[in-house]
Amino acid sequence: MEYNDIEIYVVVGGPSEMLDDNTLDWIRLSNTNGIGSRKFWSLIKYYKTASEALKHVSQNKSKVFNKIFIEKFLHNNKTKVILATDNHFSDELKNNYYCPPVLYYRGDVSLLNKTKIAIIGARNSSISGKTIANAISKNLSCYFTIVSGMAHGIDTSALTSALDIGNQVVAVLPFGFDNVYPKDNIKLFERIAENGLVVTSVFPGKPPDPGMFHVRNRILVLLSKGIVVIEAAVKSGTMSTANLALDLGKEVMVVPGSPLDSRYYGSNLLIKNGAPLVQSAQDVLDIIGSNTVINHTLDVNSNNNFVENTKNNSRDICSVILSKLSTVPTTIDELVLETNLSVSQILSAVSELVLDGKVIKTPSNALVIS
């Protein structure tokens, strides 16, 4: 369906703006029980306007989606609205049958039509996985806008590293802005809203539903020129998103990993099935057909001056090691790579942390936080 052929007038609403009746009708119709994206567009095609369609669908008689309620929730959550017929709306989304009729956003909406590369991966990522994500994102974000899902692990690393060098990013969320997911990424959410764009297809106040993750992933894929996969287990959201991207004809590029690490089982399977292998931002640029050559690779180790800055203070060394550990086993070699500390410094600090009960050694001598 060519949504641009639908004759309709659109006014984009904002936190301090009064929404026009048409925008309100689109929000009401798209939030009516039983009406997803495909049903919405079928109704618009048949009835021509959301207002007319609302007269013919079964309506919830409560006052949940009246004008006052909608404007109050958007205002309270600092949420702006863009309809699919707006000039700033993503062309990639418009051309898909599952195009969301309405997107709710905060930040620079013009980024919807900038060329974007998605970086996605494991929530329980390894230090090496996050280091790779940092490297690719920092260097790639100088040429394309990075988009991701703002989950823990690879998503967070990719978004943060691009922001750290002053580049804008896009985060696609599964729920409304009153329910930022994951909750402990609220500071990252606010940072992206100020220095990029956060979008969701879910109205604030709408109860979370597992199906919203699939909708989020589809939007993320459609917004992207290509997808970089870092650490995907066989049965994972990352693998599901990668397969969705392949189904939608997107370029899926994969960072390879150890066959002994289950976080790479899905990644390596994608490569085995024909997905191109990437190890750097330059690889990504070459695969997507960019004629750009990266002459100067940005330093990705944010802790290069750690030893000098801390003057070998034992307490500071212990603190930075704790900040790098999680419930996912981490090796000494990974800590050396991530912190630029010497092996002896790390072993000394780890012994102290183990005695204090803050860190546990696994049978394979990897480290996890207690």
Residue 163: CATH number of its domain: 3.40.50.450
Range of the domain at 311: 306-369
Q: Are residues 97 and 114 in the same domain?
A: no
- Predicted pLDDT at 297: 64
The pLDDT tens digits for 63-80 are: 446 777 888 888 888 899
- What is the reported pLDDT for 75? 85
In a domain, 137, yes or no: yes
- Across the range 43-62, mean pLDDT stands at 81
pLDDT score for 248: 94
Is residue 227 in a domain? yes
CB contact set of 234 (below 8 Å; sequence gap of 6+): 262, 265, 266, 269
264 & 119 share domain? yes
Residue 105 has pLDDT above 60, yes or no: yes
Q: Are 34 and 93 in a shared domain?
A: yes
Q: Is residue 83 part of a domain?
A: yes
> Measured between alpha carbons, how far is 41 from 170 in angstroms, rounded to an integer?
26
Domain count, the chain: 3
CA 24, 27, 32, 36 torsion: positive or negative?
positive
**pLDDT value, residue 324:** 82
Instruction: Decide if 215 is inside a domain.
Output: yes
Same domain, yes or no, for 117 and 164? yes
Alpha carbon 181 to chain centroid, angstroms: 10
Q: Does the pLDDT of residue 302 top 80, yes or no?
A: no
- Using alpha carbons, select from 109, 112, 104, 107 the residue that is nearest to residue 202: 104
pLDDT of 156-191, one tens digit each? 999 999 999 999 999 999 999 999 999 999 999 999
Clarify whether residues 125 and 77 are in a common domain: no
Helix (H/G/I), strand (E/B), else coil: 366: coil
For 259, counting Cβ atoms within 10 Å of its Cβ (0-12 exposed, 13-18 middle, 19+ buried), the class is: exposed
| Paired residues of 106 in beta bridges | 198
pLDDT in tens, 243-292: 999 999 999 999 999 888 889 999 999 999 999 999 999 999 999 987 77
Answer yes or no: do 120 and 257 share one domain: yes
What pLDDT band is residue 13 in, cutting at 50, 70 and 90? very low
**Considering 105, 122, 151, which residue would you say is the last residue of a domain?**
105
Q: What's the length of the chain?
A: 370
Residues 329 and 231 reside in one and the same domain: no
Higher pLDDT, 341 or 193: 193
Residue with tokens 């301090």: 16
**Contact present, 26 and 103 (Cβ < 8 Å):** no
Which of 85, 105, 125 lies at the terminal end of a domain, its last residue?
105
**Residue 38 belongs to some domain of the structure:** yes
Does residue 272 sit in the same domain as residue 332?
A: no
Final residue belonging to a domain, choices 105, 127, 161:
105
Q: Is there a single domain that holds both residue 146 and residue 236?
A: yes
Q: With respect to residue 36, please indicate whether it lies within any of the assigned structural domains.
A: yes
Residues 265 and 119 in one domain: yes
* 39: nearest Cα among 105, 88, 119, 98: 98
> Which of 263, 253, 261, 275 has its CA nearest to residue 153?
263
Write down the mean pLDDT value for the chain.
86
- 331: domain CATH number is 1.10.10.10
Pick left, alpha or beta for residue 274 (phi over 0 → left; psi -120 to 50 → alpha; otherwise beta).
Answer: left
pLDDT digits (tens, 9 = 90+) for 320-340: 888 888 777 888 988 888 788
Instruction: Assess if residue 293 is contained within a domain.
Output: no
pLDDT of residue 74: 86
Which of 40-49, 66-75, 87-96 is predicted with the least confidence, judged by mean pLDDT?
66-75
Q: pTM of the prediction?
A: 0.81
Q: What share of the chain is helix, strand, coil (3-state, %, to 5)?
A: 45, 15, 45
In a domain, 317, yes or no: yes
Shared domain check, 131 and 101: no
The answer on 172 and 53 residing in a single domain is: no
